Amino acid sequence: MARGDIFVSYCTKSDRDAAYDLLAYVESRGIECWIAPRDVQGGMEWAAEIVNAITVAKVMVLIFSASANASPQVRREVMLAAHRGVRVVPFRIADIAPAASLEYFLGGHQWLDAFPPPLEPHYARLVTCLNTLLTTPTNPPSRRDMPPPADPRRPGQTHPRVVIEATNLRRLESDLAVYIGPFAQIAVQRAAAAAPNVDALLEALGRQIESEVDRRKFLTGCHWLRPAD
C-alpha cells in the first residue's frame, strides 16, 4: 500500500501527540500514511508538499478537536480534499460540533467518535473503516464547494455574485499565496463563487490568514480591487 493513500490532517499546534499516536497504531496494521512534517521532503515548500499529498491521496483522516475546528490550515486542507474528491474520515477526539465552514465540507461523511477512552477500540474501528474505503472506487471530484458564479443579469436571480475579471482573480490568487501558499487558488475560486460583493470576497479571503498582522497587510494591499470613488 502506498504511503500517499492516507493523508492525516491535524492541528499541528495542539494535536501532534494525538495524531502521531493514531499514526503509530494505523501503520502498525499495515496502512501507510502521509503526515507533515514527517513526510515533507527536505528543501521543499511546505504548503506545496501538502497540496501534492492531498491531491494523490485516496482518504483523508481528520483528527477533529476544538483546535482543528478553529484552524484555518485544517479548513484549507479539508476544502482541498473536497475539491479533489478525496474521502474524508473525521476522527473526533473531543465532543465538539464542527463550525459551519467545516460542516459544509464534512456533511455526508462518516464520523468516527474517539471518546471516551481508551482509544485503542476507536483506532481499531478506524483501521476497519480505512481498509473498507481503500478497496472501493475513489470518489469523483466534488464540485459542491465551487458552484458556478451567478450571472447578475439573469432575471429572477435571488443571490447575486460578485463579478471580477479573470486577470484580477489571478492577481488575488498571487497576493493571497504569499500568506497561505498554493491553497490560495482554490480559496479565491470558492470565495468568488459565493461572495455577493468585493467586501464579502475580501473578508472571506482574509479569514484564510491566521496572523492578524498578515491579514491586515493582505487586505490593505487589495485596495486595487475596490472601485474608485
Helix/strand/coil percentages in the chain, nearest 5: 50, 10, 40
User: pTM for the full model?
Assistant: 0.74
Instruction: Look at residues 146, 186, 189 and name the one whose alpha carbon lies nearest to residue 169.
Output: 189
Q: What is the pLDDT of residue 220?
A: 93
Question: 3-state class of 226 per DSSP?
Answer: coil
pLDDT of residue 116: 86
The full set of domain ranges for the chain reads 3-134, 166-225
* Pairing mode of beta strands 112-113, 87-92: parallel
How far the first Cα of the chain sits from its last, in Å, is 59
Any residues with CB less than 8 A from the CB of 219 and at least 6 apart, and which?
A: 202, 206
Mean pLDDT of all residues in 61-72: 96
User: Check: CATH 3.90.25.10 for 3-134?
Assistant: no
CB 83, CB 100: distance < 8 Å: no
| Residue 2, CA distances (Å) to 6, 25, 82, 134 in order | 8, 17, 21, 11
Q: What is the mean pLDDT of the chain?
A: 86
**84, 55 in Cβ contact below 8 A?**
yes
C-alpha pair distances (Å), 15 with each of 119, 121, 211: 15, 19, 20
Q: What pLDDT, on the 0 to 100 scale, is given for residue 138? A: 60
Burial per residue of 145-179, b for 16 or more beta-carbon CB atoms within 10 angstroms, e otherwise: bbeebbeeeeeeeeeebbebeeeebebbbebbbeb
Task: Indicate the range of 61-70, 158-167, 177-186 predicted with least confidence.
Answer: 158-167
Percent of the chain with pLDDT over 90: 55
Average pLDDT over residues 122-145: 78
pLDDT of residue 159: 58
Quick: pLDDT tens for 14-42: 999 999 999 999 999 999 999 999 999 87
Alpha carbon distances (Å) from 82 to 184, 203, 207: 15, 22, 19
What pLDDT is attached to residue 143? 42
Cα–Cα distance list, 48 to 34, 180, 182, 184 (Å): 14, 10, 6, 11
pLDDT digits (tens, 9 = 90+) for 106-132: 888 889 999 888 888 999 999 999 999
User: Measured between alpha carbons, how far is 6 from 15 in angstroms, rounded to an integer?
Assistant: 18
Which residues lie below 8 Å from residue 52, measured CB to CB, with a gap of 6+? none
Q: Whole-angstrom Cα distance, residue 168 to residue 135? A: 43
